[in-house]
Amino acid sequence: MLRLNINDEISRLRTVVLGTAKSSGPVPRPEEAYDPKSLEHILAGTYPKEADMIVEMDAFAKVFQKHGVDVIRPEVLQDCNQIFSRDIAFVIENKLVIANILPEREKEVEAILHVLDKIDEDHILRPPEPVHVEGGDVMPWNDYIFVGTYTGADYKSYITARTNKEAVAYLREQFPHKKVKSFELRKSNTNAKENALHLDCCFQPLGKGKAILHKNGFLVEEEYQWLVNFFGADHIFEINADEMYQMYSNVFSISPDIVVSERSFTRLNTWLRQQGFNVEEIPYAEIAKQEGLLRCSTLPLVRD
């Protein structure tokens, strides 16, 4: 059996589900796009090719293997985009929460049944229907659970709004000893530079007390300011709208001092090294065209 253990975003990673780009299907039609960045690339004819995305994900897998991480892959479903395993489930402490995701994506959960079979059934949580939540919006951080959400009355009109206020209440109920801190995110169905699809698109805590932040991803300035105060202004790497669009905040920590990052993120990677991090640079720019990057492709199951 798998003994799940996730209390933060940075402790030494032991076991992870890494998505797959194999048989990811044809280029979606514009009306099938789940987010504005994918739509942009569909319309421009620059949507990523499966072969290129497989190469990128293999590079990520090699970094995990280099650092002794046990990597599990989903079963490959025919013509199904299974890259973003973070969306379909997430772990807090010793519980795995199955996300209530867009109905079109439910079959992605079936592809990790071989993982769920190794987990004690009592440790698998299946939120009720009104609870909408995706793993990109949920970050365990020691005593806290940070949650990105959108609670506007027009929630239903945003395909980019993935986690609702019912999810925040559900997490408080399931983890009563944690402080669940929610953040209202800026949403846009049409402009990728004005859309924080998930919390990890505008915020990422790192080791050494550092964090990456994008102010405009937050709708409420006080909530953004809370994070600045929590980490300390001099510990924060603030990214601009273009860097958020490139997914600068969606890096992934294998341990407190090892960060996997996209090789083109020169400004960020330079800063990370100046702070004493070991930066593993890999190509991931094609996958980024779907408004997701390194953290989105991972479902950590065990950290020390």
The verdict on residue 209 lying in a domain is no
Higher-scoring residue by pLDDT: 100, 87: 87
270 has a pLDDT exceeding 80: yes
Q: Position 304: which residue type? A: D
Confidence class for position 289, pLDDT limits 50, 70, 90: confident
Give the pLDDT mean for 151-157. 80
- If one counts the domains in the chain, the total is 1
For 74, list phi and psi in degrees, rounded to 5. -70, 155
List, for residues 4-41, the tens digit of each pLDDT value: 999 999 999 999 999 999 998 888 888 887 777 878 88
The verdict on residue 182 lying in a domain is yes
Q: Position 192: which residue type? A: A
Per-residue DSSP letter, 95 = E
The verdict on residue 171 lying in a domain is yes
The verdict on residue 80 lying in a domain is yes
Looking at residue 161, what is its pLDDT?
73
Looking at residue 102, what is its pLDDT?
67
| CATH number of the structural domain spanning residue 119 | 3.75.10.10
For residue 125, give its domain range: 13-201+291-303
Q: Position 166: which residue type? A: E
List, for residues 134-145, the tens digit of each pLDDT value: 999 999 999 999
Which tokens go with 172?
């408080």
Looking at residue 100, what is its pLDDT?
80
Closest by Cα among 222, 216, 254 to 15: 254
For 95, list phi and psi in degrees, rounded to 5. -115, 135
Looking at residue 85, what is its pLDDT?
94
List, for residues 27-76, the tens digit of each pLDDT value: 888 888 777 787 888 889 889 899 999 999 999 999 999 999 999 999 99
Q: What DSSP element (H or E) covers 97?
A: strand 95-98
Higher-scoring residue by pLDDT: 161, 204: 204
**Residues 201, 295: Cα–Cα separation, whole Å:** 9
The verdict on residue 221 lying in a domain is no
Per-residue DSSP letter, 147 = E
The verdict on residue 219 lying in a domain is no
Which tokens go with 74?
């989903």
> Can you spell out the DSSP letters for 154-212?
TGGG-TT----HHHHHHHHHH-TTSEEEEEEBP--SS-GGG---SGGGTEEE-STT-EE
The verdict on residue 8 lying in a domain is no
**Residues 293, 132: Cα–Cα separation, whole Å:** 21
Looking at residue 189, what is its pLDDT?
67
Q: What is the mean pLDDT of the chain?
A: 93
List, for residues 172-190, the tens digit of each pLDDT value: 999 999 999 999 998 776 7
Looking at residue 303, what is its pLDDT?
98
Which tokens go with 69?
């991480």
121 has a pLDDT exceeding 70: yes
Looking at residue 298, what is its pLDDT?
98
The verdict on residue 1 lying in a domain is no
Looking at residue 155, what is its pLDDT?
77
